[in-house]
Structure formats: structure tokens, C-alpha cells
Structure 1
């Protein structure tokens, strides 16, 4: 196990603070992921004989293909965000750039294990320097390295152990392949040193419903086996707390969760103010699972899965079939389809993205349309075809809109096909010009993940900056408030489909700011709806007003708790 066995300097009852991600309270011993032996232990060095290099290249290529195949299999068996990030990791495992760098080293005489490590280190440095969304792939790339090295060395895949009793998993960070495979009946809590509230680990933990806290300073000092109390609402870990007090806290949280579990919708505050509670999905399977919850519709259908990991663009017919599955699952209900949000960390093989110094601020989302308008045209054709076949009337929205002119161009194309047009608000400029944008579209949907990153000028994967990318940041919520006011003035709906909508407490604040719908991971729907049903619209407004007077995310959360909890 990688955790230190030396005595910890943390005293019993000491509380570590981080950024809360998934609510819930659990009390259990700490477990940690296993790690590979050091590269020097697996490969002591030395130059590979020239007549063995081709065979070593073949051995490396086979190991990488095996790892990619396992990831694809896991993606196929997973749903929602877990499937998406596993598919993206499988693509990265077969990326020709790093594979080529490793093969080059082998041909120069490096054994495959050392060549793999060196090639990955090269691209880790590159991704880290690029920052933004590319920096998110550092953990994924290191995970691929470890899996390929294990395959080359004849070792079991590294990763999370299966505990023999409920445990709280503490780690520096987790790769998507590890997080997606967690059993929530055994891993009952999750805490990481790195990561932010919108990291892959956080998003998958939210989908699985595992209480989660990220960016926890001092976490590495807790030895394996230490009993800890994790509070995913307040963002704390209590080290070796009084067992009776810990049990009482867990029981109280369980009772509150049980009361919430009885909520069946529709979304409304305690005094009857309606709020649509919707689900985020990415394919038909996820939509059918979401249909088992009280979700009233789909607030975000991510269509990237149709395009990622493909050498050629999917046909209109292929796309229409996939879209039709989601429309069928929620027949007669509201379904909001987001057009392709690719680029940056989600490149398309068939588009030929330009090399960019800062991809997170480059050609992504709707901006791809400027270079390849036919991709958007065919996608809108496919959505219209799926709508016709299913007798549905989907809403459609474009990502990364920054100007009213962009919104108008997209709206014109959507209306030509009888679709209801809207746009995502992820760029601060779009929030500031929301009233002008609403002159051209019928609705807005706020993507709080990117809005927080761009507003705070902070990489959402940086543990050091995790408090800046917290959606509770007053600066971010001020832009949400301005967007919602624009919607109210125009008489048009404004929703939130970012991860902020999955936080029951923050959901109440968003409603108080004037948001008309909330769309979250299916696992969060019941908790959000139940919390809203327990408070009045006046309480939501009071909480929103209190939050907007604060100066930090921690103060904002505390102000909301004082009013609503």
C-alpha cells in the first residue's frame, strides 16, 4: 500500500478541510490505492540489443492495445459521465503522439517499460504547461502509463483495492478508470488531495452517489486503517473522532437522506413555486436509467459520445438513431440537446484541430463550426430527423457561445429545421450580454463548470486553486444572477446544467437567484428535488441575497446554511 505506515502527526478529533463535492456523512477506516513498484525496480536499465528492438516495439504496442481495449469495455458497460470519461481515456491510450514517442525510444535501445515511462513523462510536462482542460489529462495519462507498465511486467493492474468492509478511499487523485469502477456499498466515502469540484473524479463520484471531498490539505498524513468521519456537505474529514458522536452524525444524515428518498416530484418549493428538475445524460442507456428517477426531462444531452473515438464523422442516420433513443426514453417530456462540444481535451480525429498554445481558450464548441460548418449542419439535420421519427419537439443549444452574433447564427440554423434554439452560458461575456443573446434564442442554460473556470481564471483541475473553481464563488453566482434577471426580463427560461445543480443547498440558492430549471446527474435528482420541497421560495431568495453579499466561497456556503439549514 502506498500510504505511510509511520505515526501521523494528526491528533484524534482533528478536522481537515477541503472542497465539498457530493453530500453525505460516513464513518469508516481509510484505504488507499495500490501502486506499481518504482520503474527502477521493474527495469534496472541497460541498452536493448538492436536485434530485439522490433520485438520490444511489438510487445509495447500489444500492451497498449490491451489496456485501451479494457478501458473501452468498461466504457461500454458504464453509463453517464463514467462512460464518457472512460471512452476518452481509451482514446488517449491509443493516441499516436505518445505511442510514437515510446516506440522511438525503444528503437533507440530503451526497454519497453522505461520507454513507456519516459514518453508519458514527456507528455505530462507538456499537458501541465498547457494548463486548462489539457491539464486534466495528466492523471489519465499517468494511469495509462501504470496500466501499460503492469501489462508489460506481467503484474496485476494497479488501482483501488476491493475492501472487505465499508471504507473511505483516500488518494492523491484517482483516474477515471478507478473511480468509475468503485462499488458504493464498499467504498462509502472518497477524499483526494488533488482535483477540483468539476474534476472527473468529482463528476463520477456524484453519479455514483459517494460522499466526496477534494483538495484536502493534510490528507496524505492519515495512515491506512485510521477511522475517519467524512462530511461531503461541509467538506471536512474528522480524524479518529469519538465513535459515539460519529455514529450519531451518520445516523442523522441517514435519516435526512431517507426522508429525501421519498420525494417523487414534480419540482417545486414548499410553497408551490415550480422548478423543473431534470437529468444530464449522454446516451440512451443513461436516459433510460434517468427515467427511473423523478426527473421531469433531460436538461443536458451531451452528444459527444457519437463523435469521440471515431476516425470518421458519424452519418446523419447514425446520429439520428442515437438521439432517438433519448427522445424515446423521455417521450412527451422536455429534452434539451447540446450540440457537439468538442475540441481542447476532446479532439475529433476527423476534423483536424489546429495546434493551439491554449486549447481551453481556442477552437472548441461552437467555434468548430466556423472551420467545419458541415459538422453542425449534419448534426442539426440528425436531431430534426430524430424529432420527426419520435414525434418529439426537442430543444437544442450550442456550447461556448460568446457573442449575440454567434447566438443568432446558431438560432437561425436551428429554426430552419423547426427546432427550439438556445445557448449555453459558459463564457463571462455571454453572461454579461445575456439580455442581448436572449433577443435571438428562446432559452439559456448555464454551464457552471466552465463559467467558474473562465470567470476565476483558474484551472479547474488545480488542487491549489480548487477554492477558486468552487461554484459557490460569489463572483460566479453574481454572473448567474445577472443571467437569470435577463431571462426574467425577457420572459424566457434560464436553467443550470453544470455540476452546481447537483448540490442540494446550492440548488436552493440558484432558485433564489431566479433560475427556472436545474439539471444534474440522475443520482442527484432526488436529493435536489427533496431539498427544494423543504424550503419556501422566500427562503431561497433570502439565501441568494445573503450569498451575494459574501466575499468567498466558504462565506457563501456558510451564509446559505444559516438561512436554509
Structure 2
């Protein structure tokens, strides 16, 4: 049972603000993540006469225990958590960390300290590479803590095991932490650090949990304190009133349904599609009733490989994603390598600023054969899948580049070709773009980070890197208007589409389709059905005229009754 205080007490405690990364509201008692594993003393050395070989072997045994534990937990994890745990287990199995630590033991350093120092060196190396590799530094710290806990005979760090529902509060969450969350007991996630593209955000959306990140002050909340987490507004309200709790719990028990046709109350069509990244995700999206796929991320068959997969391998993988959507549209994005997804056979990991470097379609300048092989594979898979396959290229900056890609796609028999609009320059020249493509799809994650000059991987810039930013919404509007004038569909496939209130705004800006995590489709569909097309336009104008993201979000939410 949730016990709430009086109205006066509620007003006496300040609401904490952060960045909402997964919509929804939940009320529950705070459960704090336990303190992290303490750093072993810098002077920790082997005792005189210690068996160096045996101490060295303890590190390898501890790493193996961590690997086995993570792999076991992966078998019971929810949603995308299984893949995250498997990836962390692979890092525990990587000999790099263990070998480096064992060398330090040979020099007399105590095992736990040796692991800590070796991990610091591996983290520094990954952080120097930037992008995706820099994100893996957090995984190294997680593996380090687990190995040190085994060496010291302590329980592994992680999410507390509770039978009663709770709101999890932490400084940040390791991928293996978020991957083991049980949505039947964990009601919401709140972190002081992190950003919109952190593992916490991604897995919260996949699990359908309200989540707020980059929320300074949340660590001051006491264990057991009752809080209201609003993942759409990005707020944490301590000690909410009994009426508020009742309202939130009633909404939480509501059944969201989708009849297979996205539309507003007056029948204006907004196609509701799913973002998928592998065959398992495609099956889940089909089960959720998605009208098709608005973003098929093809990187899954390229990542963690030293060389390009063969055309036949790609055909088999793509067909497994396409087949659940026979008779429906599937928009396939060609390889988005570079930045946070480096590939050794295609990208340069030494780029000083990979987010602005050779990524996406730009890799085709030097490695055109990789794109041609992929287009061939997509065309072959499309022939036997029974789906309506569209294809688009990421990281396109000019109408000329778009025209070049369309020509290449047509050469491989792919008739419907378009591009991602992620670069502000392309949105600003959208009228010229539309004459070159059959459609366009807005990637709001990158579009926002480039518009706001805010690296989306930095938690400190999370407030800027918000798809509600009026500047980013203006670029969406400009692109959608150009699409209307040219008779070209313009969709959104960034995470913005999964926010029900923002989905209404996007529809008002002229977007014709929304693609999102499958779990969000029913709630977005219900929200769209609560407003007319004219109301969408009015709310979009409110957001465009706001001074910043927080004000835009608040103004729209205040006039959407189902979300208040």
C-alpha cells in the first residue's frame, strides 16, 4: 500500500526536474541502488610469500564466474535486456582485462587492485576512441566491479531484489543493471546521470517503464519515500497527494488498444509503424499490430564482425525481419556505420569527432562496394518476402547526395528510395530534397543533437538534447511542409515518435507516419484518437512558439487531458 502525506507536506517538498526519456507516470516508494563497489586501496600489495600464480589464477576464475552469472541472467532477462547481458558477458570473457590485471599481480599488486587499475587503462583507451566505444567504458566498469566483488567475497552489485513494487533511484545504471529489471516490481527509473540515448533510456522504453534521467537532487531522496515519476514531463514529485496517487493508479490500469489504423478523432491518417533491429524485434512489432516497419536497422548483422558479411548472409537475415510483415510496408535503412557504431572494415576509429565524421552514407565514398552489396541483398530479400520494401540512406547532407543514393537503389531494382533527414542542412533545403526522393524520414535523435550542438551521449547536455526543442521542431515542420507541397510522405522514426504528446505535435507539424518501439504504439494510437487534426495543429503551434523544450512540453501537456 502507498501512503501519502498531506497537501501541505507535499507543497513543502520541491519537485525535482530532469529529462523524461520514457513516458508514463508511476507512484511508488524509492529504492536506492546500493553503494558502488569501493576502490581497493592504491597501496594494496601481495603478502610476502604469496603464491603469485595462484593469486593470478583467482582473477581468471573470478572473471569466468562473472561471465557465467551474466549469461545465466540473460536467459531470464526481459525484452532487450537479454542482448545487453550477453554483450556484457562477452566483455567479461574478453582476455584483455584479465591479462592486463594478471601482469600487475606478477609485479606484486593485490588481485582486486590489479583488476581496478587494468580496468582504468581499458576505460581510458575506449574513451579516447569516442562514440560507441566510449559508451562501452561503462560496461568495463560494471565488469570490473563484479570481478572485484567476487575476489573480495561480496555480493555482486546490482538492482535490489524486492517483492513489493518500487521506484529505482540511482546515480546511473550499468547495462547489466537495467537488463535485469523486472517490470512487474520496478515501476519507474530515475537517475542523476545519463542522457536520452543511455542504456537506461533505451531499456526503459523497451520495457514500458516511465523514466527520468539527468535529474540532480534525486540522490537526496530517502529510501522508502513515496514519489510520483512523470516520464513525459521529466519530473519527480515527492509525497504526492492521495488524489494524485489514485489518478495515476487508475491510468496505470487502463488497457491501451490499437485497432491497426493510426488516425486522429476526425479520421486524419497517421500511419503507426515500429522500429526494429533484428528478427526478434520484428516478431514483437508484428504481434503489437504495427502497420509496418518505419525503421529497420540493418546494423545487427554487421556489428562485432571483423569483415563485411556476405550478400547471402545478409539476405537470410533481412528476410527473417521482412517476413512477419508480408503485405505491409518495411522501410529498410542502409548501414549506419560510424560514430557510435564503428566497424573495423569500414570506419576510422581514430577520427577526432566521429559524430561529425565519415558515417552513414558518407562511408560509400571510399567503400561503395559495401553499399552495393547491401542493396543487392535487400532487393533479393524483398523479392521473396511479400513485403512492400522501401529503402533509405542515413546521414545524407544534400539533395545531390540523396539523388545519387536513389539512383543506386533503382539500379538494384529498389523502386521506392528515400533518405533520413538528420542533418539540419538537409531540412533547410527540404524543397530541393523532395524532388529527388520518394519519401523522407526524420531521425530526431541526431537532428536534435546537431541542431543544438549537444552531443547526445553526454548526460550533462541532456536538457539541450531534447526532441521537444522548438528549433528542432521547426526543422521537422519545414521538412514536412516540403513533403506536402511535393506530394511526398514524411515520417519520424526517432524516439520522439514514442512520446504520445509529442506524437500529437508531430502530426500537427505535417508528419504522415510515426515509427517507434512496439510497446508505445497502442498508447500513441489512443492519444491521437483523443484529438482532431485541427487540435494537433494548434498544439504544434504552441510547441513551436515556446522558448525552450521544457516550456513546449508543459504547454502541450496542459491541454491534453488524457495525459494530465
Note whether the superposition's TM-score is higher than 0.5. yes
User: Helix, strand or coil: the match of 2:259?
Assistant: coil
1:455 aligned residue = 451
Task: State the alpha-carbon separation in 2 of the partners of residues 564 and 504 from structure 1.
Answer: 10
* Contact 1:422/1:441, CA 8 A, preserved across alignment: yes
Matches within 5 A, 1:457-476: 457-476=453-472
Deviations along 1:398-454, one digit per CA (max 9) or x if unpaired, are 111122232223222211122121111112122222232333221111111111111
Task: State the alpha-carbon separation in 1 of the partners of residues 410 and 541 from structure 2.
Answer: 37
2:23 aligned residue = 23
* Contact 1:47/1:110, CA 8 A, preserved across alignment: yes
Matches within 5 A, 1:123-162: 123-125=122-124, 135-162=134-161
1:279 deviation in Å? 0.6
TM-aligned CA distance change 1:347 to 1:93, over 3 Å: farther
Structure 1 gap ranges (5+): 1-8
Task: State the alpha-carbon separation in 2 of the partners of residues 74 and 485 from structure 1.
Answer: 48
2:290 to 290, 295, 307: 295
* Contact 2:129/2:349, CA 8 A, preserved across alignment: no
1:482 deviation in Å? 1.1
TM-aligned CA distance change 1:341 to 1:98, over 3 Å: farther
Which stretch has the larger CA shift, 104-113 or 221-230? 104-113
Task: State the alpha-carbon separation in 1 of the partners of residues 477 and 45 from structure 2.
Answer: 62
Structure 2 gap ranges (5+): 1-8
1:501 aligned residue = 497
* Contact 1:135/1:461, CA 8 A, preserved across alignment: no
2:353 aligned residue = 358
Q: Are residues 1:14 and 2:10 paired?
A: no
User: Helix, strand or coil: the match of 1:230?
Assistant: strand
2:251 aligned residue = 253
1:529 deviation in Å? 0.9
1:322 to 317, 321, 325: 317
* Contact 1:203/1:499, CA 8 A, preserved across alignment: no
Deviations along 1:457-508, one digit per CA (max 9) or x if unpaired, are 1122333321100110111111111111121122111111111000000000
1:78 deviation in Å? 6.3
* Contact 1:133/1:459, CA 8 A, preserved across alignment: no
User: Helix, strand or coil: the match of 1:39?
Assistant: coil
Task: State the alpha-carbon separation in 1 of the partners of residues 71 and 236 from structure 2.
Answer: 34
TM-aligned CA distance change 1:227 to 1:12, over 3 Å: farther
Q: CA RMSD in A?
A: 2.9
* Contact 2:299/2:337, CA 8 A, preserved across alignment: yes
TM-aligned CA distance change 1:316 to 1:472, over 3 Å: same
* Contact 1:452/1:471, CA 8 A, preserved across alignment: yes
User: Helix, strand or coil: the match of 1:253?
Assistant: helix
* Contact 1:139/1:173, CA 8 A, preserved across alignment: no
Task: State the alpha-carbon separation in 2 of the partners of residues 326 and 475 from structure 1.
Answer: 35
Matches within 5 A, 1:376-525: 376-419=371-414, 420-525=416-521
* Contact 2:10/2:240, CA 8 A, preserved across alignment: no
Which stretch has the larger CA shift, 210-219 or 455-464? 455-464
Task: State the alpha-carbon separation in 2 of the partners of residues 80 and 444 from structure 1.
Answer: 29
Task: State the alpha-carbon separation in 2 of the partners of residues 239 and 316 from structure 1.
Answer: 55
TM-aligned CA distance change 1:268 to 1:162, over 3 Å: same
User: Helix, strand or coil: the match of 2:287?
Assistant: coil
TM-aligned CA distance change 1:125 to 1:354, over 3 Å: closer
TM-aligned CA distance change 1:135 to 1:478, over 3 Å: farther
2:364 aligned residue = 369
* Contact 2:430/2:479, CA 8 A, preserved across alignment: yes
1:10 deviation in Å? 10
* Contact 2:233/2:554, CA 8 A, preserved across alignment: no
2:208 aligned residue = 209
Q: Are residues 1:178 and 2:177 paired?
A: yes
Task: State the alpha-carbon separation in 2 of the partners of residues 439 and 416 from structure 1.
Answer: 18
Deviations along 1:78-112, one digit per CA (max 9) or x if unpaired, are 68754665565556556677666545544544344
1:21 deviation in Å? 2.1
1:131 deviation in Å? 6.0
Q: What is the number of equivalent residue pairs in this alignment?
A: 552
TM-aligned CA distance change 1:103 to 1:370, over 3 Å: farther
2:34 aligned residue = 34
1:280 aligned residue = 275
1:4 aligned residue = none
Task: State the alpha-carbon separation in 2 of the partners of residues 366 and 50 from structure 1.
Answer: 60
Deviations along 1:275-304, one digit per CA (max 9) or x if unpaired, are 100011111111111111131001111111
Instruction: Using structure 2 for the length normalisation, give the TM-score.
Output: 0.89
User: Helix, strand or coil: the match of 2:252?
Assistant: helix
TM-aligned CA distance change 1:251 to 1:352, over 3 Å: closer
Task: State the alpha-carbon separation in 2 of the partners of residues 379 and 74 from structure 1.
Answer: 35
1:265 deviation in Å? 3.0
* Contact 2:229/2:237, CA 8 A, preserved across alignment: yes
User: Helix, strand or coil: the match of 1:394?
Assistant: strand
Matches within 5 A, 1:86-235: 86=85, 89=88, 102=101, 105-125=104-124, 135-235=134-234
User: Helix, strand or coil: the match of 2:388?
Assistant: coil
Q: Are residues 1:556 and 2:534 paired?
A: no
TM-aligned CA distance change 1:47 to 1:197, over 3 Å: same
* Contact 2:334/2:392, CA 8 A, preserved across alignment: yes
Which stretch has the larger CA shift, 553-562 or 166-175? 553-562
Deviations along 1:489-532, one digit per CA (max 9) or x if unpaired, are 22111111111000000000001111110000001011111111
Instruction: Using structure 1 for the length normalisation, give the TM-score.
Output: 0.89
1:141 deviation in Å? 3.0
1:355 deviation in Å? 1.1
